């Protein structure tokens, strides 16, 4: 499944979004980008052009669900919540990422 570069990048984006939603509860897209940027100390910036397709794709896959609600600044916004299937997916993605990161780290250290 994961032999494709595009898939891998997508998987990483999914991981970031799902993780953010899993700790932050119900959030809109803008809040997700802000949160990732903030937590990653400005290293990771998610573009809207990637984020929103990913959110919609994940909703079609059943990992998140969305509803329109009123935001803090009194505007209509689309809020996303992680689902049970999404949490399962998240743990898989986390495990995958940890394994990959560990492997890369080992190579950097010992190769």
Partner 1 sequence: MSVISRFLNRWRERSLAREFDDELRFHLESRIEANLRRGMSSGAAAAEARRHLGSTLRAHEGMREARVSSLFDGMAGDLRHGIRVFSRKPWLSTMVVATLSLGIGASAAMFSLLNAALFRPLPFHDAARLVAVNDAIRGGGPGVANLMIPELLDVRAASTTLEAISFFDTRDSQVNGGAEPARVFAARVESALLPMLGIRPALGRLFTEADGVAGSQFVTILSDGLWRRNFGADPQVVGRTLTVNGLPHLVVGVLPPEFSIDYMTAEPVELYLPYPMIPVYTSWTAEFAFERRVIAVARMTHDATIERVSAELETISRTVVAAHPTVYRRIPQVREGREPYVAARDLRASISEGASGSALVLLSMAVALVLLIACTNTAQFLLAKALDRRPEVVVRLALGAGRGRLVRQFLIESWLLASAASVLGVVQAIWLTQGFRTLMPPFTPLVGAIGVDLSVLAFTVGVAVFTTLVCGLAPAWQFSRTSTRPGTREALAGHASTRHVLIAVEVAISMVLLVGAGLLLRSLQELQRTQSGYEVDGVTAMRIRGIGGAASAQSSALGDVYQRYLDGIAGLPGIDSAAVTSLALPSRAGSGFSIGGTGDGSAARRDVASYQIVSQAYFSVLRIPLKEGRTFSASDTSGRPPVAIVNEELARRAWPGQSAIGRQITAGEGPRIATMTVVGVVGNIRTMFQAGDEPQIYVSSLQQNEPSVLLLVRPAASTTLPLDAVKRAIWSVEPRQAVFSIRPMDELIAERTMLQRAVTTFIGGFAVLAFVMSITGVYAVVTYLISRRVKEIAMRRAIGARGQDVLALLAGPAFLWTTAGMLVGIVGAMLGSGVLRATVTGVLPLDAATILVTGLSYLVVVGCAICVPAFIALRIDPVTALRSE
* Residues engaged in binding partner 1 (CB under 8 A): 28-30, 33-34, 47-54, 56-57, 59-62, 71, 73, 75-78
- Minimum CB distance to partner 1 smaller for 41 or for 76: 76
Crossing angle for the helix pair 29-39 and 5-24, to the nearest 10 degrees: 100
- Tell the smallest beta-carbon distance from residue 79 to partner 1 (Å): 11
Kind and range of the H or E run holding 102: helix 84-110
- Tell the smallest beta-carbon distance from residue 34 to partner 1 (Å): 8
> Residue for token digits 């119900």?
26
- Minimum CB distance to partner 1 smaller for 28 or for 89: 28
């Amino acid at each position: 499944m994961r032999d494709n570069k595009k898939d891998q990048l997508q998987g990483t984006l999914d991981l970031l979004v799902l993780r953010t939603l899993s700790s932050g509860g119900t959030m809109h897209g803008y809040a997700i980008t802000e949160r990732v940027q903030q937590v990653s100390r400005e290293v990771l910036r998610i573009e809207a052009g990637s984020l929103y397709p990913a959110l919609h794709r994940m909703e079609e896959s059943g990992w998140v669900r969305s509803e329109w609600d009123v935001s803090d600044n009194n505007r209509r916004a689309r809020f996303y919540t992680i689902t049970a299937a999404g949490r399962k997916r998240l743990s898989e993605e986390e495990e995958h990422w940890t394994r990959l990161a560990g492997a890369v780290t080992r190579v950097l250290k010992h190769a």
